């Protein structure tokens, strides 16, 4: 019996994600009665900023297509990423949201200067950087899970974090993500990658393109299966923008033999988790 869906995501976790989606439209009354904390997700396809208060409640956010400022876990277009983030910060601050501190995230396996580059982008726009966290671990904070595997499938990579007793015991990252779906579609339809992205994100064409991109989903499942060898895991939690495509969860479940769970909006989970990690770091020194 399939468990794909929201069955194993707590109501409070899904509600927090929904609240973040609602807050991104910037229609709510601006809060000026306390510090706000930012989580910045510098992704291959999107740059997303989440703002939360000291209770971890979402209050605002911004999303911008990143045009591949980041690729395969590396900040390739440093100036471009700074430009996009600066516009988001100006927009949020102009709306009355004052940011006390910020955190960034990096794909699992990123280290050294490559890891620090994500924080440097935040610092370059004047944000006070208090911490860095790997992307799947950030997602686990939103999902409120203590056991399982978080699989963060973004534009460029698939990140994996194994969680045992509330602690991350293993992380990995492989260069297979939404961009690879675009490449398959571009080759099949003889169009540009940009046009392939539009085809992929058109709900009316999902049934048409699914057989073409299913092998890429199977490849992602194979990556997960390989990295989980030696670990006792029975549930996968899918997050990241590519996890929004209908049918990917079913492929993951059939290929891995594991239960697969999706939150209400996989795209928004990681940036929200980064913001939650920022609150913990700034207020508790964790």
Closest CA to 120 of 175, 93, 82: 82
Instruction: Please return the burial class of 194, using the count of CB atoms within 10 Å of its CB with bins 0-12, 13-18 and 19+.
Output: exposed
pTM here?
Answer: 0.88
CB 36 within 8 Å of CB 30: no
Burial class (CB in 10 A: 0-12, 13-18, 19+), 53: middle
Beta bridge partners of 198: none
Tell me the C-alpha distance between 38 and 127, whole Å.
9
The fold of the 11-284 domain, in CATH, is Nucleotidyltransferase; domain 5 (3.30.420)
Spell out the residues 6+ positions from residue 54 whose beta carbon is closer than 8 angstroms to its own.
34, 35, 37, 279, 283
- The pLDDT score that the predictor gives to residue 112 is 76
Mean pLDDT by 10 residues, the chain (286 residues): 53 94 72 82 89 94 78 70 93 90 87 83 95 89 92 88 90 88 96 94 96 96 94 94 94 96 94 96 78
Tell me how far apart the alpha carbons of residues 61 and 88 are, in angstroms, rounded to a whole number: 9
**Domain-wise residue ranges, the chain:** 11-284
**pLDDT for the residue 166:** 84
What is the reported pLDDT for 26? 65
């Amino acid at each position: 019996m399939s468990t794909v869906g929201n069955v194993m995501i707590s109501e409070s976790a899904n509600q927090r994600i929904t609240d973040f989606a609602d807050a991104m439209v910037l229609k709510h009354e601006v809060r000026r009665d306390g510090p706000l904390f930012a989580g910045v997700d510098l992704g291959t396809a999107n740059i997303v900023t989440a703002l939360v208060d000291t209770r971890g409640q979402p209050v605002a956010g911004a999303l911008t297509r990143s045009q591949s400022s980041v690729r395969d876990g590396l900040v390739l277009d440093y100036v471009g990423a700074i430009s996009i983030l600066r516009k988001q910060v100006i927009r949020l601050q102009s709306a009355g949201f004052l940011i006390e501190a910020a955190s960034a995230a990096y794909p699992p396996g990123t280290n050294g200067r490559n890891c620090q580059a994500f924080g440097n982008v935040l610092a370059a726009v004047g944000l006070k950087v208090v911490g860095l966290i790997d992307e799947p671990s950030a997602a686990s904070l939103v999902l409120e899970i203590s056991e399982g595997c978080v699989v963060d499938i973004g534009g460029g990579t698939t990140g994996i974090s194994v969680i045992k007793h509330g602690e991350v015991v293993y992380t990995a990252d492989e260069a297979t993500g939404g961009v690879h779906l675009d490449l398959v579609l571009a080759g099949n339809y003889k169009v540009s990658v940009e046009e392939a992205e539009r085809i992929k994100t058109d709900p009316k064409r999902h049934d048409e393109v699914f057989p073409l991109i299913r092998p890429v989903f199977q490849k992602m499942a194979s990556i997960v299966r390989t990295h989980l060898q030696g670990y006792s895991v029975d549930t996968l939690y899918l997050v990241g923008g590519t996890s929004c495509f209908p049918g990917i969860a079913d492929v993951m479940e059939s290929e891995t033999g594991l239960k697969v769970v999706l939150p209400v909006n996989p795209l928004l989970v990681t940036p929200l988790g980064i913001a939650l990690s920022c609150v913990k770091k700034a207020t508790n020194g964790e």
